[in-house]
Amino acid sequence: MRRRPRSSPAPAAPAPGALPIDTHRARVLEHIHQHQVTILVGETGCGKSSRVPVMLLEDPPAPDQPPRRLFIAQPRRIAAEALYRRLQAALGRLVGLR
């Protein structure tokens, strides 16, 4: 089987305690900055829900952009509440739950 050449280098192995999405931080943020809509697909537990909101809040908006506001939807209320508690603990600041 012949392999296609890669357009970008493979991501580095995650550090201990890191989640798989962490190795793609720069690529995720770049795509979000360049596109109005971004859909992330990954295995359960890779960090889509817990790490990406933190990435976005830690990455300051450009001076000509308004402050960031994130809306995260979860298919089940229990998952939404668990995510709320994890983000609030990780960020140590105001995170809303409705």
Give percent above pLDDT 90 in the chain: 17
* Residue 67 and residue 61 in contact, taking contact as beta carbons nearer than 8 Å: yes
* pLDDT (0 to 100) of residue 97: 59
* Residue 68 and residue 56 in contact, taking contact as beta carbons nearer than 8 Å: yes
HSE-CB of 45 using CA atoms within 13 angstroms: 1
pLDDT in tens, 23-61: 999 999 999 888 888 888 888 889 988 898 889 888 888
pLDDT band at 8 (very low <50, low <70, confident <90, very high): very low
Helix (H, G, I), strand (E, B) or coil at 52: helix
Tell me the pTM.
0.58
